[in-house]
Chain A
Amino acid sequence: MLENRKTCLVTPEQSDNPVVHTQMTLADLHIGGHGTIAELNGPRPFIRRLMALGVKPGSPVRLVRVAPLGDPLHIQLGPLNLSIRRQEAHQVTVSSA
């Protein structure tokens, strides 16, 4: 059913603009690096959870740190601080700020 269909959530500006932005994901940011959330990819429940927690296309994001053993990642979106696993971070693309 629809639930498992991969979905791609983008900001309205991006769906109009055919130019492909840098295909960088959250996991590719350097520590301290900034970006803007571009697309949310993956199954519906995952996207819903991301958005409910505050990860939305168009939001500025910063990779604050990486956990001592390399996983998960600590990202900051405005006043929000989230912990996200590397595997999941690969499903969120960002455009360079």
Chain B
Amino acid sequence: MTTLCAPPAALRVATVGNPNVGKSSLINALSGANLQVGNWPGTTVERLSVHFRWNEREIDWIDLPGTYSLAGATSEEKITRDELLHHPPDVIVNVVDAANLERNLGLTLELCELGRPMLVVLNLVDEARANGVTIDVPSLARELGVEVVETVASTGIGCEEVKSALVRARPPGWHVSYPEFLQDAARSVQSEHGDASFWQAITWLSEDVAGLNVPAGVLQRRQQLEQIQDPFLSVAEARLSAARGLAGETEQRLNQGPSLTERIDRVLLHRLLGLPLFLLGMLLVFRFTYLFSDPWIGFLDVVKTVLSGWVACLHLPGLLQSFLVHGALDGAGTVAAFSPVLFLLYFALAFLEGSGLLARTTFLFDQVMKWVGLPGRSLIPLLLGFGCNVPAVYSTRILPHFSDRLRVALAIPFMACSARLTVFVLFAAVFFPRHGAVVVLSLYALGLALGLLTAFLTRRLVPAETDQTGIMELPSYRLPSWRAVIRQAWLRTRSFLKDAGGPILGAVLLVWFLHQVPPGPMDRSLYARVSQALTVPLEPLGVHDWRLAGALMPGFIAKEVVVGTLAVSYLGDDPVQPCGFLEGLGQLAGGLGTALKETLLAVPQLVGLPTLPDDSSPQGLQAALGRAVTPAAAYAYLVFLLLYTPCVATLAATRSEFGNRWAFFSLLWQLSVAWLCGWAAYRFWPWP
């Protein structure tokens, strides 16, 4: 007789481990192209998961945020704890850093007390070996009562063994020996509350953990126990000696000289060299970003020109052609043009995080940031803002507390991004030909100062979280898995394109529409009318020309667009060159070749300081601008442009991370500050 049974449900596996042990390398190594990235509901903490098939078994693998203890209080640690208690997985995969066994075992022992089938993945064995550490794996497996698999996740070594060990996982046999009074109490609590794990029972009896509700009867038991001996201390001491003992038995350490990490730290964290080296490093990151993104932005421009040319060949009615070329294609081009810079900045950020350099930054700048009341880590998002505000806002996720993230996000739009630089350079060439660099630098400094001031003033705005400790781990330096870094950068870029693509395209179409209605010369268009209305509040800044005020509208979409808009406003529309299909293909191929060539040529140029780009605006624009406004008003205009609003993409990012209310606040705050500073600049301009 044959029985037809339903296939076993997917095996739910969760990885749990300390931060920086390589859990994300592991999931990247296992997942191929199927990695799913999202957020934990209601938070901005990243959630990685993958579904794959192994040996006819479906596996649902989820990566839980790094945690030092199941009783941890940070938002990431709460997520991990909640997930393990409320949605217990079928198998817990505990990823352990082989170079740091004793500390990692603290979490392992807590996990054992959950009573679920478990598997220990001993990762970073290559690093451990390099530091003279060997672990007696069979002995460790025997003591814990679970299988232990050695891996080097960043290269994929050991990952197949992990997969095969999943189905063999069983509950651990290890028990920490607590004092008898505590052990008995925990056992009886467990039997009273049928589905409670031993960990829950002993935690209820020993400490208060956020989000872990203690049943009333157990609270009384705890108070009784406190009369005998503080359970918190007993538990801590018992676990301490258990971890120490287990590590002592299974770990062998050879005393070696200073590790590579120590030697690098001697230079990078040097008392005198540290800060300047860090700043040099950031300059290098920016140079890297611009050198490698420039060729590809150029290529995207070629694509747009070719596509416009093909549209022109179709000989469509004027309005439709204009809509397609100057509306849709322009909009799509503006969105696409963000991607090279974003991808590279995200790449740099992911590398900083994975390599251990981010933690060093925090160490170096903790004191400086304390003056504005922010943690040292905040420096990175602020500095990224000088490249592009959008990844900077998303990068505030590296800060654990909401209040910090918000305050940094409110300060970020003041950082002069690379797009604003194009406008600065143009105006500097026209109005301040001999002092261009100084003028531009003054604008950058003004932005930074106002940003820090904003962070300082907003301290009272959002209640700061309690449990703000400054203790932080400085992980060993390592090369992060390239696959993980590239994938992380790509996924973040893609999610930007999805979120901000719509608003940007919509805004471009709106501006196009304003230009077209009513048909006729531009001076009579709706765009001109609106611009004239916008000029009114800018008159106290010395700006009387509607074309300058009007350019601020597309500037809201993306600051790069300002120069092009000014060119069109003063010089008229550039006629679209029609081009044949084959001709277009040729141009695309040529453009691609140029981009690749320039990218390769950029490699040797990597080391050097970023220089002020040359003004590349069309001829005649400089002359037209020179007639339009005085130097004082030009500077005021630049100040206003520097500060007035975050671009649509940044606003969308702020909205998605912090909600409508704060995005709106950010907008209003910037407008006010921009107007005040622009007015002050015009009013108190000492030079002619």
Contacts and interface: CB of A to CB of B under 8 A. Distances in A.
Interface string B472-489: 111110000000000000
Given A2-B232, A7-B232, A7-B233, A72 B470 contact: yes
A12 B475 CA distance: 30
A23 interface: no
B68 interface: yes
Nearest to B69: A52
A44 B471 CA distance: 15
Contact of A66 (B208, B271, B275): B271
A85 B366 contact: yes
Contacts of A50: 471
A2 B473 contact: no
B187 to A, nearest CB: 22
A46 B232 contact: no
Given A68-B272, A78-B102, A83 B207 contact: no
A52 B469 contact: no
Interface string B251-277: 000000000010001000101101100
Interface string A55-95: 11110000011111111101000111111110110000000
A68 B471 contact: no
Contact of B99 (A53, A64, A79): A79
B511 interface: no
A79 B366 contact: no
B474 A83 contact: yes
A2 B244 CA distance: 27
A68 B208 CA distance: 38
A82 B69 contact: no
A97 interface: no
A3 B103 contact: no
Given A1-B208, A88-B470, A54 B103 contact: yes
B73 A81 contact: no
B73 A83 contact: no
Given A9-B233, A44-B232, A74 B474 contact: yes
A46 B366 CA distance: 19
A56 B240 contact: yes
Contacts of B439: none
A69 B470 contact: no
B124 to A, nearest CB: 11
Interface in B410-465: none
A1 B133 CA distance: 43
Contacts of B69: 48, 51-52
B102 A84 contact: no
Contacts of A84: 470-472
A52 B208 contact: no
Interface string B360-396: 0011101110100000000000000000000000000
A81 B262 CA distance: 10
B275 A68 contact: yes
Residue among A51, A72, A88 with max Cβ neighbours from chain B (10 Å): A72
B123 to A, nearest CB: 14
Nearest to B240: A56
A79 B367 contact: no
B71 interface: yes
Contacts of A55: 471
Nearest to B259: A79
A1 B467 CA distance: 16
B78 to A, nearest CB: 13
A69 B232 CA distance: 37
Does more than half of chain A's interface fall in helix, strand or loop, or is it mixed? Answer: mixed
B363 A83 contact: yes
B234 to A, nearest CB: 11
B208 A82 contact: no
A83 B470 contact: yes
B134 interface: no
B624 interface: no
B564 interface: no
B177 interface: no
Contacts of B100: 54, 79-80
B131 interface: yes
Contacts of B73: 45, 48-49
B237 interface: yes
B236 interface: yes
Contacts of B71: 48, 52
Nearest to B100: A79
B426 to A, nearest CB: 39
Given A52-B69, A74-B474, A83 B366 contact: yes
B233 A67 contact: no
A97 B469 CA distance: 27
Contact of B271 (A12, A48, A68, A83): A68
A71 B233 CA distance: 30
A82 B472 CA distance: 6
A65 B240 CA distance: 27
A58 B73 CA distance: 25
B106 interface: yes
Nearest to B104: A54
B236 A51 contact: yes
A65 B264 CA distance: 13
B506 interface: no
Residue among B103, B208, B244 with max Cβ neighbours from chain A (10 Å): B103
Residue among B207, B275, B367 with max Cβ neighbours from chain A (10 Å): B367
B240 A51 contact: yes
A78 B208 CA distance: 30
Given A88-B469, A88-B471, A2 B207 contact: yes
A81 B226 CA distance: 35
A92 to B, nearest CB: 10
Interface string B9-48: 0000000000000000000000000000000000000000
Given A51-B106, A52-B106, A66-B271, 7 more contacts: A1-B208, A49-B73, A51-B240, A54-B103, A69-B367, A80-B100, A81-B473
18 contacts: A7-B230, A44-B207, A48-B71, A48-B72, A48-B207, A48-B236, A49-B467, A54-B100, A67-B269, A74-B269, A79-B100, A81-B265, A81-B473, A82-B473, A82-B474, A83-B471, A85-B471, A87-B470
Q: Which 10 A-B pairs have the closest CB atoms?
A: A52-B68, A52-B69, A85-B470, A69-B367, A54-B103, A81-B474, A83-B363, A83-B472, A71-B367, A84-B471
Interface of A: 1-3, 7, 9, 12, 44-58, 64-72, 74, 78-85, 87-88
